Amino acid sequence: MRTLRIALLTAAACSVGLNAETGYKVVGHYPMAGTQGWDYAAIDSAARRLYISHGTQVEVLDADSGKVLGTIKDTPGVHGIAIATGTNRGFTSNGAENKVSIFDAKTLQPMGKIDVGKGPDGIYYDTGSKRVFTNNHGSHDISAIDAATGKLVGTVKAEGDGEQAVIGADGLIYVNLEDKAEVLVFDPKSLEVRKRFPIGVAKTPTGLAYDAKSNRLFIGTREEPKMVVMDAGSGKVITSFPIGKGVDFAAFDPTTKTIFFSCGGDGVISVFHEKSADQFEDAGAITTQASAKTLAFDTKTKKIFLPAAQVDVIPAADANSRPKRSVREGSFEVMVVGK
């Protein structure tokens, strides 16, 4: 995911084309200092800790109160955070230095760094293989790290830029390839690429969620914004629905069969209900804020946490340059969404 790429939009634009009452709303705000960019949020529901990537460091908050518990420093260009359950270790993907940091999940103290592929972005832990994986946008591959030893053990030849990933009921890992408009499927133990499923009906897939019971993948795409429902076994596209603009992350609640997509362009969470493996309904949209592009879903409280800020866009001096974006002082926060 690209850090801080959403412009400030008006609140009126947040709900255009989206309908219905989800029952969810913004129920709290956790203010945070600083004007740096951000990307992923992650939650350790058992430990009640919320991790927020923030430029060159990771902020760690109490998930229930918003109190700052500590900071994981020296993580240049950090994108994501993964907690290796049962190892007391956490990992961050430092995109600006092509490294992964290891930290003590209790004390938050650094434990070292690992060289990985170029431009590590998304990062996630697989309990089956006990490995941490990083999706590397610069080298178009995926690095595999032994969580216990902190050693690089191999590379998956993704041949594309991985975004969000999920662990399938079959033990395989499914990853959205943003630049290829396909879902990559690989074995976390052998690191062999097993399948490549073209999405077809839309491009630029980012957010990805999964229902293990129905074996369905829920893919959020940016180009022609959609939720694409795919059979994880065959790669067959079952159906698709429009979603908000600027999707970057997805989550699934297996108890209520609810699918969430954080869409920072329109400032909404697009919500859907899975009625059966092949039947879905649009449950409406939760109004959040433009720039709230990633989320962390708390399986314990069913709350959703979204980092966001007010972002000013400064036009480029010439047509060949990109506009500059700056975070307004005092506007960075974590939005809390619940019922």
Does 16 fall in a domain?
no
Chain segment 273-318, per-residue pLDDT in tens? 999 999 999 999 999 999 999 999 999 999 999 999 998 888 877 7
Residues with Cβ within 8 Å of residue 157, at least 6 apart in sequence: 141, 193
Distance CA 138, CA 212 (A): 31
Residue 66: CATH number of its domain: 2.130.10.10
Tokens of residue 206, six digits: 């980012």
Task: List the Cα angle 172/174/179 in 5-degree steps.
Answer: 150
Confidence at 174, pLDDT banded by 50, 70, 90: very high
Residues with Cβ within 8 Å of residue 233, at least 6 apart in sequence: 215
Sheet holding 89-94, edge to edge: 78-84, 89-94, 99-104, 110-115
Does 18 fall in a domain?
no
Does 95 fall in a domain?
yes
Tell me the residue range of the domain where 149 lies.
Answer: 35-309
pLDDT of residue 143: 98
Does 246 fall in a domain?
yes
Does the predicted model carry a pTM greater than 0.85? yes
Confidence at 15, pLDDT banded by 50, 70, 90: very low
3-state secondary structure of 200: coil
More confident residue, 322 or 149: 149
Does 141 fall in a domain?
yes
pLDDT of residue 323: 80
Confidence at 4, pLDDT banded by 50, 70, 90: very low
* CA 23 from centre of chain: 23
pLDDT of residue 187: 98
Distance CA 284, CA 138 (A): 36
More confident residue, 185 or 11: 185
Confidence at 159, pLDDT banded by 50, 70, 90: very high
Residue 234: its H or E element: none
Confidence at 8, pLDDT banded by 50, 70, 90: very low
Distance CA 82, CA 291 (A): 22
What is the full DSSP assignment across 78-113? EEEEEEETTTTEEEEEETTTTEEEEEETTT--EEEE
Distance CA 203, CA 106 (A): 40
pLDDT of residue 6: 36
Rounded mean pLDDT, 160-183: 98
Average pLDDT over the chain reads 93
Percent with pLDDT over 90 in the chain: 87
Cα–Cα separations (whole angstroms), residue 45 to 42, 63, 296, 302, 304: 9, 8, 10, 10, 12
Does 296 fall in a domain?
yes
Burial of 261 (0-12, 13-18, 19+ CB in 10 A): buried
| Whether pLDDT at 68 is above 70 | yes
| Number of domains composing the chain | 1
Confidence at 127, pLDDT banded by 50, 70, 90: very high
Does 14 fall in a domain?
no
pLDDT of residue 281: 96
Does 13 fall in a domain?
no
| Whether pLDDT at 10 is above 50 | no
pLDDT of residue 1: 57
Distance CA 211, CA 217 (A): 7
